[in-house]
Structure 1
């Protein structure tokens, strides 16, 4: 049998297949990208064993665990683990601390004729490794922050570079009041794990800098790790510029065309429901900024948005959405960004349109 491992760096860099044998409730609280959850015990079984452990000790708890997971239930779980092991001969299994549960799964698999290694230290050790790894990288490499008005294409710059960390991508949120997607955001731990793994891979490619989009501490419901956010507040800014018309067109694509497509993809057999959910999504974004926008202005923009949605529903045309997008930029986002930039001017080291900004950041990475 291959040896058990604690080479976490290789595991994450090479996307080694992993089987998580923790209970579903543990897996839901935090996991690693692409990992499969094939639990030793269900949530109910784990709870019963945990209660027994507190009152009667380890041996009694283990005995109860064997009584709960036996017979056909045990055979079904072993079969699922064995299927995973045969499909992923290069993989590993783990539990929370790399202790009793993963060792028991190893033992049962071996009895079934399948030798399969586990990860020493389990989930807890791997999670600690990623937290420390991310902090080490943001402290040791210079950061460059891509800033600019709404709709200038900051995310496109991030995607064009191989030295970037995509905060919005990992948070599954575009970072604004309209930034939600049709599907939910990850939980905080999953967000942090994915971000740390990307940082590990970027630096493994030899990056001499890290590039991130200018964000607040919160990206939707996900919180940027404190040390990273602190460093971002001190890093030089590269200011991205674009014409007003291009910005409106980009926002139209992101928040209207693409969002409608997301909802349509979730409800392929019911275009009416898909459109209703899309319309609710847009109107909800406007409602979330009502206090900052002002009630009267919000009502005016809501009327324009409702008319645009009605035309889109009737004809399929999205052109009428340009009116509320343009008004929102002029009356809300641009003044807000202008105010924010007034306190950051001394940090701006370069300004330009997208191609120039990408070229600047690529050249900067070579220094």
Structure 2
């Protein structure tokens, strides 16, 4: 690959091109694009010192200071990091914030000292980010949006993951969209959520699907939120309601929030995993204390405490069905039932998982929804 500039951001997205981000770690942590790895040309401290020099003495002095700071063993280590990555990802591209001196210098060093030619992004991260924001601000009018709804525990996310026409908003936000929805790993920054969402939209549009299915969410998914234009696009969509019996929903919830969740906590925290999981559930119950009211809050918490103690004594997950039933039947179901009554005119189909899969298959081959 020649040492050129490129601004073909769409192909970078569609090809899932690997990228080397040479910005300082503090910049990368605030937001980067998918498939990018942070191999900085300057550390946070070096960037700060050079930035101060730039403000006080101008560009020439700042550039000279940068070369001085990144020299000798420091420079060798950074070149080796780039070399190692490029051997594994020979088609990777390079960028800094504006496509200016940092990526240009890195590009020159990689060519002159490693003998590897690498293309960098014209306009850098800022130009790429603006491209992705434009995607979010212009929803695809040629694709019909659909929302997948259903009572809590219906397995909506499981169904979405089976469909190539779907975009998993909760997966992109690393959150399950409820008071109990947080994972062990943190959510992405809002910038990273938006960038990943734009990638998903570009890939979806490239396949020319007839519809786009997302879960029936509010704009907020934990700490992340769907940009307004795209949120309005989704909210205008027809609603498909997944119907699942309560007992099956209890089992789906038990597996996700107890069995699988405990396994994840134990993997992350070892022997302390169960107590960490216990804290996560009790804290989640506390978040809805005001909505539950004092007496119900105590009832729900006591039911969970009892289930947890019985699990420890019997080594079985079955006792947790009791507090899950309370939350589904007495808390979430009435709220969703009311929500459905307010959106009856938007319901275009409702039925079992098999019914919905048949309906969606027909849509893919129909001229009109």
In 1, Cα distance between equivalents of 2:202 and 2:137: 11
1:138 and 1:228 in contact (8 A); partners too? no
Q: Deviations over 1:77-123 (max 9, x none)?
A: 11211222222221111111111110000111222022222111111
In 2, Cα distance between equivalents of 1:138 and 1:217: 18
Corresponding residue number in structure 2 for 1:65: 66
In 2, Cα distance between equivalents of 1:365 and 1:204: 15
Tell me which of 183, 186, 193 is aligned to 1:184.
186
Give the length in aligned residue pairs.
Answer: 364
In 1, Cα distance between equivalents of 2:233 and 2:16: 28
In 2, Cα distance between equivalents of 1:332 and 1:86: 54
Corresponding residue number in structure 1 for 2:173: 171
Corresponding residue number in structure 1 for 2:87: 86
Gaps of 5+ in 1: none
Corresponding residue number in structure 1 for 2:220: 218
Question: Are 1:25 and 2:26 an aligned pair?
Answer: yes
Corresponding residue number in structure 2 for 1:336: 335
1:161 and 1:362 in contact (8 A); partners too? no
Corresponding residue number in structure 1 for 2:244: 242
Q: What is the CA-CA distance between 1:316 and the residue it aligns to?
A: 2.0
- Identify which range, 171-180 or 134-143, moves more after superposition: 134-143
In 2, Cα distance between equivalents of 1:234 and 1:34: 32
Structure 2 counterparts to residues 1-367 of structure 1, below 5 A = 1-2=1-2, 3-112=4-113, 113-267=115-269, 270-271=270-271, 273-367=272-366
In 2, Cα distance between equivalents of 1:327 and 1:11: 48
In 2, Cα distance between equivalents of 1:126 and 1:294: 48
Change in Cα spacing, 1:350 to 1:212, as seen in structure 2 (3 Å) is same
In 2, Cα distance between equivalents of 1:24 and 1:252: 39
Q: What is the CA-CA distance between 1:205 and the residue it aligns to?
A: 1.6
In 1, Cα distance between equivalents of 2:159 and 2:141: 23
1:148 and 1:239 in contact (8 A); partners too? yes
1:153 and 1:354 in contact (8 A); partners too? no
In 2, Cα distance between equivalents of 1:140 and 1:133: 14
Q: Deviations over 1:34-90 (max 9, x none)?
A: 311100101111111111112221111111111211111111111211222222221
Q: Deviations over 1:232-274 (max 9, x none)?
A: 222110111110101111111111111101111213xx32x00
1:160 and 1:358 in contact (8 A); partners too? no
TM-score by length of 1: 0.96
- Identify which range, 176-185 or 199-208, moves more after superposition: 199-208
In 2, Cα distance between equivalents of 1:366 and 1:130: 30
- Identify which range, 277-286 or 83-92, moves more after superposition: 83-92
Q: What is the CA-CA distance between 1:319 and the residue it aligns to?
A: 0.6
In 1, Cα distance between equivalents of 2:305 and 2:85: 50
In 1, Cα distance between equivalents of 2:336 and 2:71: 62
Q: What is the CA-CA distance between 1:347 and the residue it aligns to?
A: 0.6
In 2, Cα distance between equivalents of 1:75 and 1:100: 19
In 2, Cα distance between equivalents of 1:129 and 1:301: 48
1:134 and 1:200 in contact (8 A); partners too? no
Q: What is the CA-CA distance between 1:33 and the residue it aligns to?
A: 2.3
Change in Cα spacing, 1:205 to 1:165, as seen in structure 2 (3 Å) is same
In 2, Cα distance between equivalents of 1:253 and 1:93: 43
Q: What is the CA-CA distance between 1:171 and the residue it aligns to?
A: 0.6
TM-score by length of 2: 0.95
In 2, Cα distance between equivalents of 1:353 and 1:7: 43
CA RMSD of aligned residues (A): 1.3
